[in-house]
Each structure stands twice: as C-alpha cells, then as structure tokens.
Amino acid sequence: MLYKNILLIDDDPEDAEIFMEAVQKLNKGVKLQWAVNPQKVFNEMQSAEQLPDLIFLDYNMPLINGGELLEKLKSNNRLSSIPVILISTPSEEFMKLKLEQNAIIKYFKKPNSYSELIAILDSIL
C-alpha cells in the first residue's frame, strides 16, 4: 500500500465523519487524521516529525481555501512532495491546471452517496 498515513483537511464535520467512516470500512490499515483549520495544520506540518503520505484537501473552506493552502504546500520545500487530492467544487479549469502543474495528483467532487465515496476511496487506497 502506498498510503498508510493520510491527512484529511476539511472544515465540515459531517463530511469528515462520513469520509473517516468510509476509510475505516475499507479496512486497508490506513491511519487517517482530520484537521479543520488549514493554516494551523500548515504551521504544524512545517515542524512535524512525521508527514502524511497523502493529503485529501477540501477546496471550499473559510479563512484560507484549499487552493491557497495548496499553493503554500507546493511552495514549501519540506511539504511540496506530499501528494494532494483536491476534493470539492472548484471549476474544471482550475482542477485541470493544477493537474498539469503537478500540484495535485487527482481531484474529485464530493460524492452524493456513501457508496460512491467508498468506490472512489477504494480506487485511491
């Protein structure tokens, strides 16, 4: 397995709970951590002993959105190599640009159903 230590950055507790439940249901031995505040998690990661193997990053968040955090991650030498999957509803053009720039490895819109989320996560993990 490529990803054992995963970080979800999402300000919506309901979405995060469903996401965490889906990851647990897949039973892939993944350690999932959830962060609400993008700026705080960015500051903490700069000095963290262990970095995540993969970040799922929500785009629509207050204060600092996923696009802004993505720029900070990719401009930081220590954090720039962490693969990021952007989730939510930014424009298709924005997502394609970020893929072309290798800023993200994948993106998907938040699914409408739990079974759809399970299928997406199963294909990634």
**Predicted confidence (pLDDT) per residue in 7-45, tens digit:** 999 999 999 999 999 999 999 899 999 999 999 999 999
> Is residue 105 within 8 Å of residue 82, measured between CB atoms?
no
pLDDT for res 63: 84
Domains and CATH numbers, the chain: 37-124 (3.40.50.2300)
What rounded mean pLDDT belongs to the chain?
91
In the predicted model, what is the mean pLDDT of residues 53-58? 96
Query: CA–CA separation, 42 vs 95, rounded Å?
Result: 21
pLDDT at 92 over 80: no
Phi and psi at residue 40, to the nearest 5°: -65, -45
Query: CA–CA separation, 11 vs 35, rounded Å?
Result: 8
- Chain-centroid distance of CA 12 in Å reads 13
Sheet hosting strand 54-58, strand order edge to edge: 31-35, 5-9, 54-58, 84-87, 106-108
